[in-house]
Amino acid sequence: MELYDETCFETSKLITKKYSTSFSKGIAAFHPRFRYPIYSIYGFVRFADEIVDTFHTQDKQKLLDDFEKEAFDTIDKRISLNPILQSFQITVNHYQIDRELIRCFLKSMGMDIDKATFNESEYKSYIHGSAEVIGLMCLRVFCEGDDELYNQLAPSAKSLGSALQKINFLRDIKADHKERSRIYFPGISFEVFTDQTKKQIEADIQHDFDEGFKGIKALPHGARLGVYIAYQYYLSLFKKIVNTSAETILQKRIRISNGDKVLLYCKAVLQHKLGLI
């Protein structure tokens, strides 16, 4: 089983690297004992996201329902021939990740199938399931059974996850509208998206960032740098979005260059070595 399990974790690692250079670099900065578990969480959530965002010629709801059933069956049986689910169940069972977090995540993915707009309540529910619970899953890994530390850091983990997701919404507002007919922000119209509206959203994101950073500084040493790198990538992206007009945001996707990512990575490593985080 050791060879099989390692192969499954390596598959999740491959999925992570294929889909996200930013998160891959952050995970690589974790202590080795944290890397496979976090790769497995990313692989699981990425596959569910692919179902609702990519498989347009398929019955998405059935695929998602089947994926959910297979995931929980795998967690119960502790075995699967699906390498993504096998690595995920090992992480869920070893770190005792609450199944309600998984259910909330899959519920949010289901909302993407038939929801085009969101009211305030639906928006908060979606953010919780699509982002906050992922932060909590990762936190379970980092805390390694320390419930007191987990409860202490849970609010910050949720805030950081929320901030990253809302930045994704701003960055991808054009693609979400044009390709998927979605607008996540409640009460916002693609046709009437002003600088004032954008500033209100940015103030909300800044609050989440501030709360999230408090938790980063209190993370276990082996997890802190990796999370901080992801935080710095997204903070840099956020600053770039803040300095871009609403009109431009609607026309193109804002990015951070690979060169800038390298500089941010080096800066984060240096700050960590100097004990500044």
The tens place of each residue's pLDDT in the chain, 277 residues long, gives 999 999 999 999 999 999 988 788 899 999 999 999 999 999 999 999 999 999 999 999 999 999 999 999 999 999 999 999 999 999 999 999 999 999 999 999 999 998 888 999 999 999 999 999 999 999 999 999 999 999 999 999 999 999 999 999 999 998 888 888 888 999 888 888 899 999 999 999 999 999 999 999 999 999 999 999 999 999 999 999 999 999 999 999 999 998 999 999 999 999 988 888 8
- How many Å apart are CA 255 and CA 253, to the nearest integer? 6
**Residue from 163, 143, 150 nearest 223 by CA:** 143
- In this prediction, residue 192 carries a pLDDT of 84
- How many Å apart are CA 272 and CA 138, to the nearest integer? 20
**Residue from 257, 240, 253 nearest 178 by CA:** 253
- How many Å apart are CA 90 and CA 250, to the nearest integer? 42
Count the Cβ atoms, other than its own, within 10 Å of residue 160: 28
- How many Å apart are CA 199 and CA 38, to the nearest integer? 33
Q: Where are the domains of the chain?
A: 2-273
- How many Å apart are CA 210 and CA 158, to the nearest integer? 12
* Residue 230 CA: distances (Å) to CA of 96, 157, 224: 25, 13, 10
Report, at the CATH architecture level, how domain 2-273 is classified.
Answer: Orthogonal Bundle (1.10)
Both tokens assigned to 84? 């993504």
Residue 247, C-beta contacts closer than 8 angstroms, at least 6 positions apart? none
Residue 67, C-beta contacts closer than 8 angstroms, at least 6 positions apart? 47, 48, 51, 106
- Phi, psi angle pair for 41, to nearest 5°: -65, -45
Both tokens assigned to 133? 């619970």
Which pTM does this prediction carry? 0.94
H runs (alpha helix) in the chain: 2-19, 21-28, 32-54, 60-77, 83-95, 99-114, 120-127, 133-143, 147-171, 173-180, 195-216, 221-242, 246-249, 258-273
